[in-house]
């Protein structure tokens, strides 16, 4: 399942009148709330989460949120300084210095600083102000600072820095009118003189001086985060709770999600049978109901379960727990030669590999970054859920394993996730000890304060995911089902349609069948494997159409039809195949973009295919022998 592409907005390229502001850049240290502010200013909905490094490339929008649709605003990845340490930081520095092709130098800068840690954050003010661009300094999280007893004199700060300062709260939308005032004022700027350029220690000294002159009183650090960590990072409770959280999520996807999906499925089937009489032509009925509707519907039913999984991942990301999980997992990551930081992109790959691969830009070491990109598609993304759910619901009995809390179905599901994870670890180990060998890079991770996930942010994630899912179902899967239905009705003999097995699609399937027979797959699965190269969930739509078009299984549900058609060994082999195989054109495209070569995605595809084939073969042989 690919992720939404950001809307393209043209940046003005003609030369500007002096003093006129047309593009504004949003700059600040990581996790200072730039993206929250960006969403406020533009009315757009970029992903916000509670860990450093959510934004890894520049994002562009219009300042519609404050009534200035004529201005473009660029959201940049967070940076600590201009010494570009990682890929994402380099993007920000390149844009600011005008070295980014296609992006003009911004006409003004909004520098977002977290008031809670103003002294440290001020270190970024020096290089930004020395750019000589009109700059407004926004002291964010003012509400939290006041709550915790911190204070600063913004007027004094403005004097010290020679730039206007405003206190805002991006989450609450407070103080944003200052941005309008700033943008309407066309004043010349005097370039700022840096104390000593490039030296962290002297910049720091300067920042300390400035903050003490402005009467900055740092707020008390949140005692709650420390208390929570005392349990969540506890020697015993920490890993135990981590495991419980993971198991709990899977069980919930089944015990809460399955009834929801089943109900949704019944609703969709009923809807289909109500539409059928309204379609005049029998052939059209067959195409629309047995072909398209059955195909698309068989994928759509999994929407509730996917949304539920996203809700859980969203809560973990927004609360700040993800960074703690990275800390707990650092030991494991170290054993495979990777950095604990790689764990964060890998965790987000459980939703979708595409943003995860982009998030690897926060990994400083290039070889580590490539290794992480190459193993990310092994993490069980949500596009695998439909086929997993279908096979598990059809073939695995609903039996308790650890009491009522953990059932056999959730257990099989968890094993599939573990299988993908182990394959990722093994592959990383292999890569890091051969082609991508490098010296150990330091693990430096900032642990954010815990925050309550906001309903707005969670709702937004679910909305975005639902939209992408429905879009995919309405485009790729819809087209594939139509093509399959048509090929299933050709060639005609004397005005009658062929049996499915004698049709063009049947012939194609039977032609590849010998290659997949050792895995326990029949020709219908073979066609499903072919179409799923576009996107993994397409196989479910394809199978829905094929079994719907076959007169022998037309009246059955997809689950029942599959139970009749393939044995347990083939079914398990199929989900093992999907655990390993790289079937996602969007992922391959993003790997090619991030590694700048077709070599890596091609290698990755071949490697994952071989692993998938071997894994499915072994699974089928073992299970067919014992069951």
Partner 1 sequence: MHKCKLNVLSELKVGHTAIVSKLNLPAAVQYHLMHMGIMPEASVLALRRAPAGDPTVYAVDGIEIALRRETAQSILLHTPALLVKEAG
Strand 400-401 and strand 403-407: the pairing is antiparallel
Provide, rounded to whole angstroms, the least separation between the CB of residue 364 and partner 1: 8
User: Is 363:52 a contact under the CB 8 Å cutoff?
Assistant: no
To partner 1, the closest distance from the beta carbon of 236 in angstroms equals: 8
Residue with smaller CB distance to partner 1, 32 or 298: 32
Tokens representing 101 are 């092709």
Residue 228 or residue 478: which is nearer to partner 1 going by CB?
A: 228
- For the bound state, the minimum distance from the C-beta of residue 125 to partner 1, rounded and expressed in Å, comes to 12
Kindly tell me which of 189 and 233 has the beta carbon lying closer to partner 1: 233
Of 294 and 341, the one with the shorter C-beta distance to partner 1 is 341
The residues that bridge with 25 in the sheet, in sequence order, are: 74, 109
**Listed residue (498, 620, 622, 625) closest to 566, CA to CA:** 620
Shortest distance, position 50 Cβ to partner 1, whole Å: 13
Q: Which positions lie near partner 1, rule CB under 8 A? A: 80-81, 83, 85, 116-117, 119-120, 123-124, 200-201, 204, 218-219, 221, 225-226, 229-230, 233-236, 238-239, 327-328, 330-331, 334, 340, 364, 440, 442-447
**Shortest separation between residue 128's beta carbon and partner 1, angstroms:** 13
Contact predicate 71/62, CB 8 Å: yes
Q: Which is nearer to partner 1, 233 or 603 (CB)?
A: 233
Q: What is the DSSP letter of 397?
A: -
Nearer to partner 1, 81 or 554 (CB): 81
Q: How far is the CB of 119 from partner 1 (least distance, A)?
A: 7
Closest to 53 in 3D by CA, of 21, 22, 82, 86 = 86
- Rounded (5°) CA angle 516-522-523: 90
Nearer Cβ to partner 1 (451/563): 451
Nearer to partner 1, 143 or 229 (CB): 229
Task: For residue 387, give the nearest of 586, 529, 588 by alpha carbon.
Answer: 529
- 8 A C-beta contact, residue 302 and residue 261: yes
Among the listed residues 559, 583, 568, 578, the one whose alpha carbon sits nearest the alpha carbon of residue 520:
568
Closest CB 397 distance from partner 1, rounded Å: 36
Residue 352: CB minimum distance to partner 1, A? 26
Least Å from the CB of residue 168 to partner 1:
20
| Least distance from partner 1 to the Cβ atom of residue 92, Å | 14
Going by C-alpha positions, the residue among 10, 40, 50 that lies closest to residue 322 is 50
- Is 218 or 389 the residue whose CB approaches partner 1 more closely? 218
Report how far residue 435's alpha carbon sits from residue 438's, in angstroms, rounded to the nearest whole number.
Answer: 9
Residues whose CB falls within 8 Å of the CB of residue 217, separated by 6 or more in sequence, listed in order: 149, 150, 151, 152
Cβ distance to partner 1 smaller for residue 64 or 239: 239
- In the three-class reduction of DSSP (H, G, I as helix; E, B as strand; rest coil), residue 23 is classed as strand
Please, which residues have CB within 8 angstroms of residue 89's CB and are 6 or more apart in sequence?
Answer: 77, 78, 79, 80
Max Cα-Cα span within the chain:
93
* Adjacency order of strands within the sheet including 135-140: 59-63, 68-75, 23-27, 108-114, 135-140, 165-167
Sign of the CA dihedral running 523, 526, 531, 537: positive
């Amino acid at each position: 399942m690919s992720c939404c592409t950001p809307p393209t907005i043209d940046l003005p390229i003609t030369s500007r009148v002096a003093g006129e502001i047309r593009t504004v850049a949003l700059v600040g240290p990581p996790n200072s709330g730039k993206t929250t502010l960006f969403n406020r200013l533009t009315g757009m909905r970029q992903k916000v989460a509670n860990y450093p490094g959510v934004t890894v490339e520049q994002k562009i929008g219009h300042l519609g949120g404050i009534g200035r649709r004529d201005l473009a605003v660029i959201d940049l990845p967070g940076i600590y300084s201009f010494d570009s340490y990682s890929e994402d930081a380099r993007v920000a520095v390149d844009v600011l210095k005008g070295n980014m092709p296609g992006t003009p130098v911004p006409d003004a800068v909004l520098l977002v600083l977290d008031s809670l840690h103003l002294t440290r954050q001020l270190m970024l003010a020096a290089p930004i102000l020395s750019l000589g661009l009109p700059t407004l300094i926004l002291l964010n999280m003012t509400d939290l600072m006041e709550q915790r007893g911190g204070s600063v004199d913004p007027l004094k700060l403005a004097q010290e820095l020679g730039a206007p300062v405003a206190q805002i709260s991006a989450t609450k939308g407070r103080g944003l009118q200052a941005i309008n005032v700033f943008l309407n004022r066309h004043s010349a700027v005097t370039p700022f003189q840096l104390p000593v350029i490039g030296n962290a220690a002297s910049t720091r000294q300067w920042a300390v001086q400035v903050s003490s002159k402005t009467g900055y009183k740092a707020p008390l650090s949140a005692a709650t985060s420390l208390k929570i960590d005392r349990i969540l990072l506890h020697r015993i409770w920490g890993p135990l709770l981590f495991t419980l959280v993971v198991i709990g999520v899977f069980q919930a996807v089944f015990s809460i999600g399955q009834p929801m999906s089943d109900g949704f499925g019944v609703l969709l089937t009923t809807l289909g049978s109500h539409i059928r009489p309204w379609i005049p032509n029998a052939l059209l009925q067959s195409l629309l109901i047995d072909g398209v509707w059955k195909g698309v519907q068989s994928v759509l039913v999994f929407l509730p379960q996917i949304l539920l999984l996203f809700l859980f991942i969203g809560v973990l990301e927004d609360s700040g727990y993800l960074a703690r999980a990275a800390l707990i997992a650092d030991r494991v990551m170290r054993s495979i030669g990777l950095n604990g930081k790689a764990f964060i992109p890998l965790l987000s790959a459980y939703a979708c590999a595409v943003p995860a691969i982009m998030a690897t830009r926060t990994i400083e070491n290039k070889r580590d970054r490539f290794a992480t990109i190459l193993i990310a598609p092994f993490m069980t993304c949500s596009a695998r859920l439909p086929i997993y759910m279908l096979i598990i619901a059809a073939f695995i009995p609903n039996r308790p394993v650890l009491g009522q809390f953990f059932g056999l179905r959730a257990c099989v599901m968890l094993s599939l996730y573990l299988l993908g994870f182990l394959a990722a670890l093994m592959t990383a180990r292999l890569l890091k000890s051969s082609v991508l060998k490098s010296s150990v890079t330091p693990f430096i991770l900032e642990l954010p304060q815990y925050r309550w996930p906001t309903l707005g942010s969670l709702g937004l994630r679910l909305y975005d995911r639902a939209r992408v899912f429905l879009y995919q179902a309405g485009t790729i899967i819809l087209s594939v089902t139509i093509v399959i239905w048509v090929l299933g009705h050709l060639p005609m003999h004397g005005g009658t349609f062929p049996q499915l097995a004698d049709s063009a699609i049947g012939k194609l399937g039977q032609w590849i069948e010998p290659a997949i027979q050792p895995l326990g797959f029949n020709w219908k699965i073979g066609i499903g494997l072919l179409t799923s190269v576009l996107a993994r969930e397409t196989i479910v739509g394809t199978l829905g159409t094929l079994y719907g078009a076959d007169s022998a299984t037309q009246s059955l549900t997809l689950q029942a039809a599959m139970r009749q058609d393939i044995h347990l060994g083939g079914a398990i082999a199929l989900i093992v195949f999907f655990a390993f195989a790289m079937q996602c054109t969007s992922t391959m495209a993003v790997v090619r973009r991030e590694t700048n070569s077709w070599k890596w995605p091609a290698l990755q595809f071949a490697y994952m295919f071989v692993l998938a084939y071997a894994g499915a073969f072994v699974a089928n042989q073992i299970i067919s022998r014992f069951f």
